[in-house]
Chains A and B, each alone.
Chain A
Amino acid sequence: MIARRSLVMFAGLFVLFTVIGWFLGAANISLLLVQSFAYALIALGLNIQWGYGGLFNFGIMGMLMLGGAAVTFISYPVNAQFWGSEGPLMLGKALLAFLAGFLLVWGARHADRIGIKGRWKSVVTVLAWIVAYTVYRSQIDPAAAYIETSGGGWVGGLGLHPVLGWLFGGVLAAGVAYVVGKICLGLRTDYLAIATIGISEIIRALLKNMDWLTRGTLTVSPIPWPTPIPQDLQAQGVSISESFIYARLGFLGLVIIVLAVAFFLVQRAYGGPWGRMMRAIRDNHIAAASMGKNVTRRQLEIFVLGSVLMGIGGAMLVSFQQIYDPGAYQPINHTFLIWVMVIVGGAGNNWGAVFGALLIYITWMISDPVSQWLFNNISNWSTDMGWGAIPEIQSRASQMRVFVLGVVITIALRYAPRGLIPEVVRREA
């Protein structure tokens, strides 16, 4: 029943994409396809966390930013001026200071081993944090100031292959997710949501203001593609309009391969004992714990796994757009949008998550031109009626996306709370 329903749904989606592609042209629809499939990977990551594990992660934006920073660092050409200056040495010192501070705090947290207990341990821990922070700031501040003024502006990249950058994006997101999960996963749902939002805002503030690492609001571009870019194809004699289509299709192929591999693994995991255990924890973690499952550890596991997919997805988006702009990340576009995708598609069902991602992304992107067309018509009509035109149609129409997104999620919650392609609950007869 659900299999047939999802087949119909996907067929409808295919028709929708074809019609929109017919209107917008092949170059534009190939652009939308690449981005929507990258979002599908991210939605898959959230589907693991929320659909399988019931974790309320509202910090997706932070993971996407980390992925983007990672691919920028790995694949952007080497900045020779930085490596020739004293910057690397100063950064090395800052890293040592960071490690020393980390060890100090770690030591303070284990101070009970040497007989410092209770209140004194808290005092020692707080003191250790203060000392570690002061030491780190005393090293990193001059290093950052030096690099930004005379050390080449920023650290630049490593000039490696972008696919390595995607992998590093996953690894970086996993590392941060491990720390975040260790801190936050003990919290109950809505506290977890607020804590993860807070952490993603901290990540955003850091990446936006660490000009020496990411160039901050100055943005980094052009970030290389893993596949031939349109200019390469033009050099081989392909016409300009076709070169964009072929280049984007090449990128799309790579994204789909990554998505297919991730989908296969995630789908297998869902059906296996591991997935069953996760659903047991999601539905009743007390019962699962009483059956001997290590709930906190498993939740940490799934939080990290989901974040890996988000990191890779974020990295793919940045390398496709060829620009890394930490100022362009917004919770609406990079956290809530993905939540709407998973809720509308169907939490707990991977097909649903992918379907929701493609559907919502295309809705999100075309609500701008559609509302512009609508406003133009209303404006013409009101002008004919003698009431004057609507001012600033262009900027108003682009704000309609947010409104449409809100309406979509409200309708979905009211009429299809389990999503368009809901999770299949098998019961033994």
Chain B
Amino acid sequence: MNELIFFFNNVVVAGVVLGSIYAVGAIGVTLIFGILRFAHFAHGDMMTMGAFIAFLLAMAATALGITTPVVPTGFLVLPLAMILAAIIALGLDKGFYAPLRKRGARPVTMLIASIGVTLIIQGMIRLFFGSGTYSFFETEQKQLVRIPVPLEGVTRTINFTQPQLLMVLCTAVAVLALHFFLTRSRLGKAMRAMADNADLAQVSGINTKLVVRVTWIIAGSLAAMAGTMLALDVNLKPDLAFNIVLPIFAAAIVGGLGQSYGAIAGGFLIGFAETLAIFNWSVLLRPVAGSLPFELPATLAIVPTEYKLTVAFVILVVVLLWRPTGIFKGAST
């Protein structure tokens, strides 16, 4: 049983947390692709930027004494950071993408423009924050939650940190809110209509400009949320999300670009695949080591830990070959 709890702590908890981060990031990528039809590479840096906004707000809140003993300050300021990030996302669209869109630029040009935006945001972040590492938990502690399992002979406890629990809750709230927005509200329905067929949506009287703005607001705020969650789980670095943007794209593509629910499923799939691939399986097999036909090595992982991110790319390439439009049929232009 102890081994199973070890498995739970190392795979299920880590997978759910990583999956939530990927899912929240991938929703933004997939929405932008669905509405604007281009792969938005700057999403990873929008995440980093959102995390830094939240970090600055958290520092300001701590300095002003606005803290609670229950919730980490990072979560307290998250709504405000999301609003600011949404405003910046609107500004980025107005400054960089809207002029190209007006000219009728191809999706390829938009993609290259988004790389320009990536470089600009990353340059700005590095200019102001250098290349050091920051942490949300310099003044307060990360609370560890230990749940004992009421079974005989079990010594291990189920462990996770309080931020991890809050992250999963936040993700659930965000996903539910998005679901109700897309299915119940007029604007959400307009968004889905535009993702299906932009021209038809326009002739049937949908305000496409408004839809584009709403898309950027949702994508920007979710990017800030994903970035802050990632920074709360690990550390805050200027190149925090640069490595994450590819797994997020992998998640969005696996789920089918343009499909919000697919992106969530893809995010959790990639998150679990990564944690499962680096899990040391010999821990689980140790109790039955005597009855195995071969000698049990000390580490028996599917891939060594340093190849963790590679798992996402391998899944991506396999999915692209096997079903290029994703496991839920995605938009294909």
Contact = CB atoms under 8 A, between A and B. Distances in A.
Contact of B105 (A183, A186, A205, A417): A417
B119 A332 contact: yes
A300 to B, nearest CB: 15
A205 B307 contact: yes
A38 interface: no
A409 B304 CA distance: 38
Interface centre among B112, B119, B320 (most CB of A within 10 A): B119
Given A198-B313, A209-B304, A405-B119, A413 B109 contact: yes
A10 interface: no
Interface centre among B96, B112, B250, B321 (most CB of A within 10 A): B112
Given A406-B123, A409-B119, A410-B116, A187 B320 contact: yes
Contacts of B332: 188
B201 interface: no
B246 A406 contact: no
Interface stretch (A111-119, A234-242, A289-297, A391-399): A391-399
A423 to B, nearest CB: 15
A183 B321 contact: yes
A414 B100 contact: yes
Contacts of A343: 112
Interface stretch (A91-99, A189-197, A244-252, A354-362): A189-197
Nearest to B118: A406
A36 B307 CA distance: 33
A403 B246 contact: no
Contacts of B246: 194, 197-198, 201
B167 to A, nearest CB: 26
A131 interface: no
A193 B320 CA distance: 12
Interface string A320-343: 000000000001100010010001
Contacts of B127: 396, 399-400, 403
Given A399-B127, A409-B116, A190 B38 contact: yes
A277 interface: no
A401 B309 CA distance: 27
A78 interface: no
Interface residues of A, number: 42
A413 B113 contact: yes
B295 interface: no
B39 A198 contact: no
Given A396-B127, A402-B126, A414-B99, A198 B316 contact: yes
A203 to B, nearest CB: 10
A190 B119 contact: no
A199 interface: yes
Contacts of B109: 413, 417
A407 interface: yes
A260 to B, nearest CB: 29
B119 A202 contact: no
Contacts of A229: none
Contacts of A187: 320, 324
B112 A194 contact: no
A224 B159 CA distance: 53
Contact of B123 (A56, A191, A195, A402): A402
B117 interface: yes
Interface residues of B, number: 46
Interface in B90-135: 96, 99-100, 105, 107-109, 111-113, 115-124, 126-127, 130-131
A399 B131 contact: yes
B202 interface: no
Contacts of A406: 116-123
B317 interface: yes
Contacts, number: 124
Interface string A399-429: 1111111110110011001000000000000
A184 interface: yes
Contacts of A404: 123
B314 interface: yes
Interface string A198-224: 110110010011000000000000000
A201 B309 contact: yes
A202 B313 contact: yes
A205 B306 contact: yes
A2 to B, nearest CB: 21
Given A194-B253, A201-B313, A209-B304, A410 B113 contact: yes
A406 B242 CA distance: 15
B310 interface: yes
Nearest to A134: B302
A38 B250 CA distance: 33
Contacts of B309: 201, 205
Nearest to B321: A183
A392 B130 contact: yes
B36 to A, nearest CB: 12
Contacts of B316: 194-195, 198
Interface centre among B123, B246, B312 (most CB of A within 10 A): B123
Contacts of B310: 201-202, 205
18 contacts: A56-B108, A188-B332, A190-B111, A191-B324, A195-B320, A198-B316, A201-B313, A202-B310, A205-B307, A332-B119, A332-B122, A339-B112, A395-B130, A396-B126, A399-B126, A400-B127, A402-B122, A407-B116
Interface of B: 38-39, 96, 99-100, 105, 107-109, 111-113, 115-124, 126-127, 130-131, 242, 246, 249-250, 253, 304, 306-307, 309-310, 312-314, 316-317, 320-321, 324, 332-333
The 3 closest A-B pairs by CB, nearest first: A403-B123, A406-B119, A198-B313
Given A194-B39, A406-B117, 12 more contacts: A188-B333, A194-B250, A195-B316, A195-B317, A198-B313, A205-B310, A208-B306, A336-B118, A399-B126, A403-B122, A406-B123, A413-B105
